[in-house]
């Protein structure tokens, strides 16, 4: 019952920045944990970052920690991912997802019910 739509992807040079957005509609956005995943061609989808509904607890993968910032604006029903100091290995389709995982399972893909179609991020080397 939640519809998600990503935007903000594009082409950026090594060391540059992008901000992705994920707009939600349908069910109450503020009750869900929301997350970003990414998938490069020929590779498995991997967890990037998540933010919980209560208290705004954030979790990051080791590969992006210190470079990315996840945030949400519940009044706007929007999730954001600020990506800084981009590397070629950040190139992937980035998807947002919503679910209600317990904290210990927040990195687990199967815990998320709803998914957007994804937005392409390409970092030139």
Give the pLDDT score at 86: 98
Spatial contact of 76 and 92, defined as CB atoms under 8 Å apart: no
State the number of CA atoms in the 13 A half-sphere of 50 facing the CB.
27
8 Å CB contact between 38 and 45 = yes
Q: How confident is the model at residue 124 (pLDDT cuts 50, 70, 90)?
A: very high
Mean pLDDT computed over every residue of the chain: 95
Residue 121, pLDDT > 80, answer yes
pLDDT for 27: 65
Say what the pLDDT of residue 81 is: 98
Residue 55: pLDDT band (50, 70, 90) is confident
- Helices and strands in the chain: count of H runs, count of E runs: 0, 11
Distance (Å, rounded) from C-alpha 108 to C-alpha 14?
29
pLDDT digits (tens, 9 = 90+) for 7-41: 999 999 999 999 999 999 976 789 999 999 999 99
Phi/psi for 65 (5° steps) reads -55, 130
């Amino acid at each position: 019952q939640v519809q998600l739509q990503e935007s903000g992807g594009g082409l950026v040079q090594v060391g540059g920045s992008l901000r992705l957005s994920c707009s939600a509609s349908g069910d109450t956005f503020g009750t869900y944990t929301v997350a970003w995943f990414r998938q490069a061609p020929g590779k498995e989808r991997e967890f990037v970052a998540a933010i919980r509904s209560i208290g705004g607890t954030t979790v990051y993968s080791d590969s992006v920690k210190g470079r990315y910032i996840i945030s949400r604006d519940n009044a706007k029903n929007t999730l954001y991912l600020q990506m800084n100091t981009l590397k070629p290995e950040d190139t992937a389709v980035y998807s947002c997802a919503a679910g209600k995982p317990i904290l210990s399972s927040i990195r687990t893909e199967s815990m998320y019910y709803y998914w957007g179609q994804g937005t392409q991020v390409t970092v030139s080397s």
